[in-house]
A and B are shown apart, each in its own frame.
Chain A
Amino acid sequence: MERQGISTVAIQLLRSVAEKVRPPRALVVPFRHGYPLDKPGDPARQLAVLEAALKMLEDQRLQPPAIVDYAPK
């Protein structure tokens, strides 16, 4: 997708895998498998994760592979 001009960001559950695969942008979240966007039925918390991912897309300082840890507030 990146080669075709689509900017991507991946939500990442396992940092160790991101470090091996080296995706263009990965937001490493501190949630267990089955809970990639934090809590079910909690739009605010899900939006907070998505906002962090969107900020990675906007951050012109990032260079690939950009692997960033998400810290819930």
Chain B
Amino acid sequence: MGDLSEFPLKYKLFLKAYPWRRIDPVPWAPLKKPLKDSRAAVISSAGLVRPNQEPFDDSIRGGDYSFREIPSDTDVSTLKDTHRSDLYDHSALRQDPNLAFPLDRLRELVKNGRIGSLNPRHLSFMGSITAPGRLVKKTAPPQVRKLVEDGVDIALLVPV
């Protein structure tokens, strides 16, 4: 089970003391159209990159706040795990990147009509960003605008 007991004491203490950001009131967008007519995008924090993309940089203080664009026709088996954290078992993700970037599953959902379509672009980030200000202020807003311009209706956020 995913809980704090998975982690060494110093990380448990860090997570308990961390000043998590929250937004009040919680933003809320009810579904505007049936899922079968909706366009979906995946946003992952598993640090996955395509073979021709730079790995995420684990030397950046406060965490790498960049992103990688993953086209929807990507062969998921070619995605490389470049996440810096040593707090979890990476073997499952390396065996099956769908575990954190479920493009194959979403293609199946489109094929069987459960969702309408996949956005041509999806986003890969690396988690473990302890100083998220640059992500919040610089990286995220233009990417959200692009997703809106793409016509994305729903976004699935997958951690690792």
Interface residues of A (CB under 8 A from B): 1-17, 20-24, 29-41, 43, 46-47, 50-51, 53-54, 57-58, 60, 63-65
Chain A residues whose CB sits within 8 angstroms of the CB of B158 once the complex forms: 10-11, 36-37
Cα(A39)–Cα(B102), bound, Å: 12
Q: Are A50 and B102 in contact (CB under 8 A)?
A: yes
User: Other than the known A12-B159, A43-B108, A46-B98, what 11 A-B pairs have Cβ atoms closer than 8 Å?
Assistant: A1-B144, A6-B148, A9-B156, A30-B1, A33-B160, A34-B99, A35-B89, A40-B95, A41-B95, A46-B102, A50-B105
B155 & A30 in contact (Cβ 8 Å cutoff): no
Known: A5-B148, A22-B26, A40-B93. A54 touches B99 (CB 8 A): no
Give the residues in chain B near A50, CB-CB below 8 Å.
102, 105-106, 109, 156
User: What CA separation (Å) do A3 and B155 show in the bound complex?
Assistant: 13
B1 x A10 contact (CB < 8 A): no
B154 at the interface (CB under 8 A from A): yes
Across the A-B interface, the 5 shortest Cβ-Cβ residue pairs: A13-B2, A40-B96, A2-B27, A33-B88, A64-B26
Of chain B, the residue at the smallest CB distance from A37 is: B99
- Would you list which residues of chain B between 48 and 85 have a CB under 8 Å from chain A? none
Tell me if B147 is interfacial: C-beta within 8 Å of chain A: yes
B22 contacts A by Cβ under 8 Å: yes
Residues of chain A within 8 A of B148, CB atoms compared: 4-6
Chain A residue contacts of B35, Cβ below 8 A: 54, 57-58
Report the separation of the CA atoms of residues A51 and B112 in the bound assembly, to the nearest whole angstrom: 13
